[in-house]
Amino acid sequence: MILGLETSCDDTCAAVVSEEGQVASNVIASQGLLHARYGGVVPEIASRHHLELVDAVTADALERAGVRLDDIDTVAVTRGPGLIGALLVGVSSAKALAAARGLPLVPVDHLHGHVVASTLGDHPVEPPYLCLVASGGHTFLARVDEPARYEVLGQTLDDAAGEAFDKGARLLGLGYPGGPAIDRLAREGDPEAFDFPRSAPGELDFSFSGLKTALLYAIRDLGDAAESRAADLAASYQRAIVDALVSRTRAALRREGAERLAIGGGVAANSELREAVGRLDVPVWVPPVELCTDNAAMIAGAARFLEPLPYPEYLDLDATARRL
Ligand code: KG4
Ligand code: ZN
Summarize pLDDT for 26-63 with one digit per residue, the tens. Answer: 999 988 888 888 888 899 999 999 999 999 999 999 99
Q: In the chain, where are the structural domains located?
A: 2-117+293-316, 124-286
Ligand 1 pocket residues where CB is under 6 Å: 9, 135-137, 162, 165-166, 177-180, 183, 265-267, 269-270, 293-294
Give the ligand with the smallest distance to the CA of 112: 2
* Closest-lying ligand 1 atom to the alpha carbon of residue 264: 1
Summarize pLDDT for 188-237 with one digit per residue, the tens. Answer: 999 999 999 988 888 899 999 999 999 999 999 999 999 999 999 999 99
Q: Can you give the pTM of this predicted structure?
A: 0.96
pLDDT at residue number 214: 97
Q: Dmax over Cα atoms in the chain, in whole Å?
A: 64
Q: Which amino acid is at 194?
A: F
Q: Which protein residue has the closest C-alpha to ligand 1 atom 2?
A: 266
Consecutive H or E run containing 100 = helix 84-101
Q: Which protein residue has the closest C-alpha to ligand 1 atom 21?
A: 266
Output the average pLDDT for the chain. Answer: 96
Give the ligand with the smallest distance to the CA of 113: 2
Q: Which amino acid is at 219?
A: I
Task: Tell me, in angstroms, the distance from the centre of ligand 2 to residue 291's CA.
Answer: 10
Question: Binning pLDDT at 50, 70 and 90, where does residue 261 land?
Answer: very high
Q: What dihedral do alpha carbons 175, 177, 178, 182 form, nearest 10°? A: -100
Task: Tell me, in angstroms, the distance from the centre of ligand 1 to residue 107's CA.
Answer: 23
Q: Which of 157, 109, 85 is nearest to 264 (CA)?
A: 109
pLDDT at residue number 155: 97
Same fold, 2-117+293-316 and 124-286: yes
Give the ligand with the smallest distance to the CA of 265: 1
Phi, then psi, of 75 in degrees rounded to 5? -110, 135
The pick from 263, 292, 293 for probing ligand 1's pocket by mutation, whose C-beta has the most ligand atoms within 8 angstroms, reads 293
Q: Which of 52, 53, 63 is nearest to 26 (CA)?
A: 63
Q: Which protein residue has the closest C-alpha to ligand 1 atom 23?
A: 179
Strand order in the sheet with 151-155: 151-155, 139-144, 129-134, 261-264, 284-285
* Closest-lying ligand 1 atom to the alpha carbon of residue 160: 12
Q: Tell me whether the omega of the peptide bond preceding residue 128 falls within 30 degrees of 0, making it cis.
A: yes
Task: Tell me, in angstroms, the distance from the centre of ligand 2 to residue 97's CA.
Answer: 23
Phi, then psi, of 62 in degrees rounded to 5? -65, -45
Identify the CATH homologous superfamily for domain 2-117+293-316: ATPase, nucleotide binding domain (3.30.420.40)
pLDDT at residue number 175: 83
The pick from 156, 165, 292 for probing ligand 1's pocket by mutation, whose C-beta has the most ligand atoms within 8 angstroms, reads 165
User: Which CATH number applies to 124-286: 3.30.420.40, 3.40.250.10, 3.40.50.2300, 3.30.450.40?
Assistant: 3.30.420.40
Which residues on adjacent β-strands are paired with residue 156? 206
- DSSP per-residue letters across 3-26: EEEE-SSSEEEEEEE-TT--EEEE
